[in-house]
Amino acid sequence: SAYPRISPCIITLIEDGDRILLGHNAKFTPNRFSTLAGFIDAGETAEQAVKREVREEVGVEISGIRYFTSQAWPFPDSFMMGFFADYKSGDIVPDGREILEGRWFTLDELKHVELPPRFAISRRLIDDWVLRQQP
């Protein structure tokens, strides 16, 4: 039997207390922000890919990587694994190619930007964080 070729990807939401780090991708419409994502390189774990992609895309260091959920994605062939991670150190420095802007958002500030659609794993990560901010 034949198996479909799939490309494993990671997607992550970086938390720092009452704020989260989201990025504006070069392909996005204006004022749209989302979680950070990227492909897993050959020979690296999903957790290593999360750390590398975050460092490459926005320049910050993270810790406490936690698996959340996965989603097949008709890219046509991506398999996304979603993670949460804690901010450790560094200033946001977007790579300027894939990510044009990185920004911290509080619960209230999320109301002023366009977020990913509800079915997307990126939105499920954000919604999970939002729920955990309720007293």
Q: pLDDT, tens digit, for every residue of 19-54? A: 999 999 999 999 999 999 999 999 999 999 999 999
Report residues of the chain scoring pLDDT below 50: none
Closest CA to 39 of 61, 21, 57, 23: 57
| C-alpha span between 123 and 34 (Å, rounded) | 8
Looking at residue 75, its pLDDT comes to 65
> What is the distance of C-alpha 126 from the center of its chain?
9
